[in-house]
Structure 1
Amino acid sequence: TSPEELPCLGILPLPQNRTTTTMKPKQISESWASYMTNSPTLIVMIGLPARGKTYVSKKLTRYLNWIGVPTKVFNLGVYRRQAVKSYKSYDFFRHDNEEAMKIRKQCALVALEDVKAYLTEDSGQIAVFDATNTTRERRALILNFAEENSFKVFFVESVCDDPDVIAANILEVKVSSPDYPERNRENVMEDFLKRIECYKVTYQPLDPDNYDNKIVYYLMNIHVHPRTIYLCRHGESEFNLLGKIGGDSGLSVRGKQFAQALRKFLEEQEIADLKVWTSQLKRTIQTAESLGVTYEQWKILNEIDAGVCEEMTYAEIKEQYPDEFALRDEEKYLYRYPGGESYQDLVQRLEPVIMELERQGNVLVISHQAVMRCLLAYFLDKGADELPYLRCPLHTIFKLTPVAYGCKVETIKLNVEAVNTHRDKPTVKQLPQEPNPCKDEKEQLYASVQFEYSKASKKLQCWEPAPQAPQPSPCPGHARRGRPAEDPSQHSGGVTVCLPPVLASCPCH
């Protein structure tokens, strides 16, 4: 099979706005989960320099990590700069520069070895190989590597023929590249355009195949047009004053003052074509109504469902449901309120919002504390451990401006007092554990049977276990913490671990 016949994510013209049919979140999540747990996946970027490959790689990686799929970018330029300490000119990229070609191929092989280590030893699920990969020969090498290691492969080609966009990309990103320490804009532009010409000599485009994948759905929604996203919570509510969570109370006096202050702020900013989104709860709607602009209500922007704990204070929850209170402090991201949601559930619910935000221009999202944490975690590339504890104070605006490979964040306080609803991450004490057949006399044995694969000696070496991302498990109590039970025969993690018979018979391992 040639690389051109592999599953392909398609050719992505940049920049271009795309319209797409909204997919139901449940269908997306189920198909994605069943696909992603089969085997590690290697996403291979393809395209001439200054076509947005690194931009796409970083955004895609941030998104996949946000939805709980461990993903890492491997940028070949980093490996090349480590091998060649000083870059002189575009001559290094000439196809007839045999010495340089050998160095570039060796760098690719080293990078692929790191990809292998990440996907087989470090519990990674997806590796993004960010390089030009413009020849069939290079793609065949990658394909053979993937087949030898039983990795799935997707090729993603980024195409742009607009000279203005290419020039803007060079000036915005390449001028500050380590390749050009002198930062001379004219010299950088001249050299980089010649570098592109070197690649064009051997460039062999990829033929598109199928588009039936969630990654495509995400990539087709991102664009590079300048825009700003504003995130804020509703004005202070009556329940905020009482320390109650959830519910559907209206704004307090100070909450209404914030709504007026927000209107004044937006008028001063003179934001072109600003769209305003709210949840369907009273406190966000009342905040938006004071702005004097059209706004859209999104049910999926509603606050996290606290189930039986709705409209209770934390003190009341601790008194009436002490076990639930302790469990949530122990594992806040995965914990699911009885009859309610977990942060993990909320992230899945908010996926369509992220898709739409990536398509849009200037947007103001008026939401709630947990919802805003999830959205902010996506744009700031924060993991599950940090997400539930991000500070999102009332009466504060987060101004997010997407830049080349990340997001610039500004916080703007509108000088209207409000209560503090933030709870710091607690120091968790060891909780009594529910009966579990995996523990008791087997517990110490399991703790000692961890391994590290040594490339040099091919031996198993004992080491202290590193924390891993939570995996679904049929153990008692896990479903209560937001982890559904599954068929033990389908259980899979990031690494295959050989366990002794006493543990191998346990469905949890």
Structure 2
Amino acid sequence: MTPSNDIAEIEEAKISGNYSARKIQRWNPSSIYATSLDNTTNNDAIHMNLPENHISPAQMYSTDSGKMFHAGSICIIMVGLPGRGKTNLSISLCRYLRWLGVRTELFHLGDYRRKNTDLNNASDLNFNKLNSNSYFSLNPENSKIKILKQEIKNELINDILTFFQSSNGQIAIYDAINGISNERNNLYNIFKSKNIKCLFIESIIDDLNLLNDNIKDAVNSPDYKSWDPKDALINFQNRIKSNESYYENLNSKSENLPFIQSFNFGEKILINDLKHDFLATKIIYYLLNAKIKSHSIYFARCSLNKLNFKDDPPITDSGKIYIKKIFDTLSTDFSNNKIPNDLVVWTSTRLRTIQSSQIFKDAGCTVIHRPELTQLNPGAAEGLTDEELNKKFHDSYLSHESDPYHHRYPRAESYHDLALKIEPLILEMEKLPYDILIIADETIIRIFYGYLMASNAKDIPMIEFPQNEIIKITYHTYNNAIKKLVVEGIDKD
């Protein structure tokens, strides 16, 4: 029998252990990968097309194709009325899947529409007057608009097919209303004919308070970047009204499609005709944890970063001064220069970090100590200079130079180990609706940053977080944004 392309070719393990050694090096990109990412550490890379040499921080293994074995190609098709958080959910899900090592791309119909039309300058369609009803209706009366909409959808679908066929893509996320049953079935048949599985995810919000909050956030869309906020809100509400009478919910009785219905962002989930394979299970679990996010995650380095890994002394006087300056600087980022009671603070279980967090506990904050936030264990490399490492562990030193993210010295941890260790915290971070302050070693902050900014694993070990800065990463609908708060009176390192 001729092996299929989805089956890995395995060779006998060269080193004893509970793993299989593939013919390519486990973490190195295959020879088909040639380009490199021009990484800018202050920008969220979630909307960048994945470079061919991209390695995800929590990727479990690498393959010649860049795909996970036995998972196939999947097109996730979002479904939902405007203002139901589809774009927020699409981007969050893409971020998580990329983190796991799944080659995932976003395809927002709104981006394609904006590329092909100008809401304020399309005289042939009188677009500016129509944008609150005809164009954004699921059933526009204007024949020219119907043709235009179909052309734009066809362009998006062709790009999805190209992603699977030419870019080693594994999951495409198609973000649009997709509110007509017949059109959903047509999409299913198109992708099925190309051996691409479909998974429909419908976001339903029947909590009026949550819906109103989400509609207010939706007017931050690129469509409204030059609009008066009140006019934008009215226009967006008109978009919703123009779709409600035509919109059809996913229905297992009338549509034999694999789908997930998520109510109020994970409050309740209904599943229809879905095989519970690895990726489907990960997606379901993520949807149970994902929330609408518009809060911020703050990162501050802990004091006494030069101690040996096993040392655990109490906080020093200089450490108390340091954390007080962190507290005061962070306060300036909130209204009335006051730390809010609903700020959640995470630290490791080291004595000095527990004691450092007391100032936040006294301010009424919830403080949680996590063993997963303990810094990277350097093992036998602790305290050694580069010259000493090269002499004592020459081969290991060369491996570390080649891949500092995945390599570990004897009895040490790698950054990849840290990424796998903190995955439960990432899911908890996705679920919490409050601002979070994480006080941790620079090695831990690098991993969280890599997740929130969709970084390539190879860049993470080189990202620097000075001691005199608090890093603020704020969730937005379309991308995460960074702000740096300088802590006066503290040395950079």
- Structure 1 length-normalised TM: 0.68
Q: Deviations over 1:85-116 (max 9, x none)?
A: 43322212341524323322232222111111
Distance, in Å, in 2 between the alignment partners of 1:218 and 1:100 is 37
Q: In 1, are the aligned partners of 2:67 and 2:103 still within 8 Å (CA)?
A: no
Q: Please give the per-residue CA displacement for 1:61-91, whole angstroms capped at 9, x wherever unaligned.
A: 1222223222110011122233334332221
Residue 266 of structure 2: aligned partner: none
Specify whether residues 317 and 254 from structure 1 end up closer, same or farther in structure 2 by C-alpha distance, changes over 3 A only: farther
Name 1:5's counterpart in structure 2: none
1:233–1:367 CA contact under 8 A, matched in 2:
yes
Query: Structure 1: which 5+ residue stretches go unaligned?
Result: 1-27, 421-509
Report the AA paired with residue 42 of structure 1: C
Residue of structure 1 aligned with 2:400, choices 328, 333, 340: 328
1:297-317 CA distance string (max 9 Å, x none): 211112123333245454543
Find 1:260's aligned residue among 324, 339, 345.
Answer: 324
Residue 165 of structure 2 corresponds to 120
Q: Give CA-to-partner distance per residue, 1:481-500, whole Å, 9 cap, x none.
A: xxxxxxxxxxxxxxxxxxxx
| Equivalent in the alignment of 2:81 | 48
Contact 2:60 2:100 in 1 (8 A): no
Give the Cα separation in 2 of the matches to 1:377 and 1:188.
34
Listed one character per residue, the Cα deviations across residues 137-185 of structure 1 (whole Å, up to 9, x for unaligned) are: 121122112212222221111112455555554444436533x575144
CA distance in 1, matches of 2:368, 2:234: 47
Q: CA deviation at 1:353?
A: 0.6
Letter of the 1:93 partner, please give it.
F
Q: Do the aligned partners of 1:394 and 1:418 also contact (CA within 8 Å) in 2?
A: yes
Does 1:385 find its partner at 2:458?
yes
Query: Does residue 1:39 correspond to 2:102, yes or no?
Result: no
Q: Amino acid of the residue matched to residue 325 of structure 2? A: A
The residue type equivalent to 1:382 in the other structure is: S
1:304-453 equivalences in 2 (<5 Å): 304-360=376-432, 361-418=434-491, 420=493
The letter for the 2-side match of 1:255 is G
Instruction: Give the match for residue 500 of structure 1.
Output: none
Q: Where does structure 1 differ by over 6 angstroms across 4 or more consecutive aligned residues?
A: 33-36
Q: Equivalences for 1:137-286 in 2 at 5 Å? A: 137-162=182-207, 165-174=210-219, 177-178=222-223, 180=224, 183-207=227-251, 208-209=270-271, 213-224=281-292, 226-239=294-307, 246-250=309-313, 254-265=318-329, 268-286=337-355
1:310–1:247 Cα change, 3 Å: farther
Distance 2:303 2:464 in 1: 16
Unpaired segments ≥5 residues, structure 2: 1-58, 252-269, 332-336
State the 1:134 CA deviation: 0.8
Tell me the residue number matched to 1:432.
none
**Shift in Å at residue 223 of structure 1?**
2.1
CA shift in 2, pair 1:274/1:230, >3 Å: same
CA deviation after TM superposition for structure 1 residue 270, in Å: 2.2
How far apart are the structure 2 equivalents of 1:373 and 1:256?
A: 24
CA contact (8 A) 2:294 2:477 kept: no
| 3-state SS of 1:374 partner | helix
Residue 98 of structure 2 aligns to a residue whose secondary structure is: helix
Task: Show CA shifts across 1:8-56 (max 9, x none).
Answer: xxxxxxxxxxxxxxxxxxxx979xx997652122111100112111111
Q: For the residues of structure 2 that align with 1:372 and 1:41, how far apart are their CA atoms?
A: 32
Residue 131 of structure 1, CA deviation: 0.8
Question: What amino acid sits opposite 2:461 in the alignment?
Answer: P
Distance 1:365 1:80, change over 3 A: same
Name the residue aligned to 2:96. Answer: 63
**Residues 291 and 91 (structure 1 numbering): CA distance in 2 closer, same or farther, change over 3 Å?**
closer
Contact 1:43–1:127 (Cα < 8 Å) also in 2: yes
| Contact kept? 1:77, 1:131, Cα under 8 Å | yes
Instruction: Name 2:356's counterpart in structure 1.
Output: 287
Q: Assess, with a 3 A threshold, how the Cα gap between structure 1 residues 118 and 224 changes in structure 2: closer, same or farther.
A: same
Q: Give the TM-score of the pair, scaled to structure 2.
A: 0.70
Query: What secondary structure, in the 3-state scheme, does the structure 2 residue paired with 1:93 have?
Result: coil
Partners of 1:312 and 1:288 lie apart in 2 by 31
Q: CA–CA distance in 1 between the matches of 2:71 and 2:293?
A: 36
Q: CA deviation at 1:346?
A: 1.7
How far 1:419 moved relative to its partner? 6.7
Distance 1:204 1:292, change over 3 A: closer
CA contact (8 A) 1:53 1:130 kept: yes
Task: Give, in angstroms, the shift of residue 226 of structure 1.
Answer: 4.8
Distance 1:376 1:176 in 2: 24
Contact kept, 8 Å, 1:377 with 1:387, in 2: the verdict is: yes
Relative to structure 1, is the Cα distance of residues 338 and 125 closer, same or farther in structure 2, using a 3 angstrom cutoff? farther
Give the residue type in structure 2 aligned to 1:38.
A
- Measure, in 1, the Cα distance between the counterparts of 2:484 and 2:69: 36
Structure 2: distance between partners of 1:45 and 1:36: 25
Question: What is the rounded CA distance, in whole Å, between the counterparts of 1:320 and 1:181 in structure 2?
Answer: 58
Supply the distance in 1 between the matched residues of 2:476 and 2:193 (Cα, whole angstroms): 38
Q: Secondary structure at the match of 2:458?
A: coil
AA at the equivalent of 1:227: H
Distance (whole Å) between structure 1 residues aligned to residue 474 and residue 226 of structure 2: 27
CA RMSD of aligned residues (A): 3.0
2:3 corresponds to = none
For residues 189-238 of structure 1, what are the alpha-carbon distances to aligned partners after superposition, in whole Å with 9 as ceiling and x for unaligned?
A: 33332322232222111243258521222222222365332211211344
- Of 111, 131, 147 in structure 2, the residue corresponding to residue 102 of structure 1 is 147
Indicate the SS of the match to 2:405: coil
**Aligned residue pairs, count:** 385
